[in-house]
Amino acid sequence: MAKVVENLVDSFYTLHISATGTDFKKVEHLQKCDHPTDEKTLDDVTATDDTRTIKAAVNFKEDSEIEFEYILDPTDAVHQLIQTSFDGNKELHFQLKYTVATGESRQFKGTISKLATDNSDTKKKLRKTGTIAITSDVTKISG
């Protein structure tokens, strides 16, 4: 007998970019984009008489990076913005929005630290792969 699985959420999402933090535009033909990690920095506060390791969370954020990929349309304004921001080392505003699990959507600022052209499969359209170096706190947003 098959087990019925309920209340699971599909992982459909979109990535939106803005140069100013307003008027976000969707990245067309997005193939993948990692989700920013939520990770606390821990400090080892083990005293000399402790019998096990003791760690405490500190108010410090480690640098974080996420990767993304899209199919290139050289006439698309957002694709052009990604390229010119990479070329000019400009910070952008990003929104990663989930279509169903809207509470998982995130907003942050970052710079494109890597942007490469992927022509490895001649049966596919030309792809761009990139890395976003997150330069701000990652905050939750609603849909």
At residue 63, does pLDDT exceed 80?
Answer: no
77 three-state secondary structure:
helix
| pLDDT range class, residue 143, cuts 50, 70, 90 | low
The pLDDT tens digits for 85-109 are 999 999 999 999 999 999 999 999 9
Q: Spell out a b/e string for 85-113, using b for 16 or more CB atoms within 10 Å of the CB, else e.
A: bbeeeeebbbbbbbeeeeebbbbbbbbbe
| pLDDT range class, residue 62, cuts 50, 70, 90 | confident
Q: What are phi and psi of 129, to 5 degrees?
A: -115, 140
Q: What are phi and psi of 39, to 5 degrees?
A: -135, 130
In whole angstroms, what is the distance from residue 108 CA to residue 34 CA?
Answer: 13
At residue 2, does pLDDT exceed 70?
Answer: no
| pLDDT range class, residue 38, cuts 50, 70, 90 | confident
Point out the least confidently predicted range of 35-39, 54-58, 124-128.
Answer: 35-39
Contact at 8 Å (CB) between 134 and 110? Answer: yes
What pLDDT was estimated at residue 75? 97
User: CA distances (Å), 76 to each of 14, 64, 72, 79, 114, in order?
Assistant: 16, 28, 8, 5, 19
Residue whose C-alpha is closest to residue 16's, from 114, 104, 89, 82: 82
What pLDDT was estimated at residue 66? 96
Where helices occur in 6-127 by DSSP H, the ranges are 77-88
